[in-house]
Amino acid sequence: MSRLLKAVAVTAALLLGITACGADQNDASVVEEPVASDIVDVAVAAGAFPTLVAALGAADLVDTLKGDGPFTVFAPTEEAFAELLATLGVTAGELLANTELLTSVLLHHVVPGKVMSADLAGASDLMVTTVQGGEVSVTEYMGSVTIDEATVVTADIEASNGVIHVIDKVLLP
């Protein structure tokens, strides 16, 4: 997990703890606030996904992922994008310029609906259809979730219109 995501998680946990300590546990008027930011805004605010955010812009998918959803997004790390670029022998600029390929690859990282990690308990080669139309295989084993050959390194980053799971490889259709 990147330092930024750890810092965000720790800060959120502390704020929740502070808020919970001040709330009356029996007060029925205390309601959990909905997450205010959409998937794109959460990714931008994290600061850990500059290549993904640039790719969404280049593929003209920002408005789509700011839409109602819900969506489940498997967000590759920066290291995953670097590995892909090296494997393909292209630069980030070249990848971003190929909008047809880029759109297909990005939509292969999106599943309709909001799928939390707890929903995947016991999954074994569960085939899930992506927005791109292809399928990914999802397996949960001893608390670790894999999507095809990628491993979820950070799960359940909630947004107002879905959830992000950070993965360590780029999924190819």
Average pLDDT over the chain, rounded to an integer: 83
pLDDT digit string, tens, across residues 121-141 = 999 999 999 999 999 999 999
Does position 64 have pLDDT exceeding 80, yes or no?
yes
Higher pLDDT: 27 or 94? It is 94
Mean pLDDT lowest for which of 3-17, 93-107, 150-164? 3-17
Superfamily (CATH H level) for 43-167? FAS1 domain (2.30.180.10)
pLDDT band at 61 (very low <50, low <70, confident <90, very high): very high
Residue-range domain boundaries for the chain: 43-167
Residue count of the chain: 173
Three-class secondary structure of residue 4 per DSSP? helix
What per-residue confidence (pLDDT) applies to 93? 92
Whole-angstrom distance, CA of residue 107 vs CA of residue 117: 20
Tokens 């995501």, residue? 5
β strands within 90-171, DSSP E: 110-112, 126-129, 135-141, 144-147, 150-159, 162-167
DSSP for 22-70, written as a single string: HS-TT-TT--PPPP-S-HHHHHHHH-S-HHHHHHHHHTT-HHHHTSS--
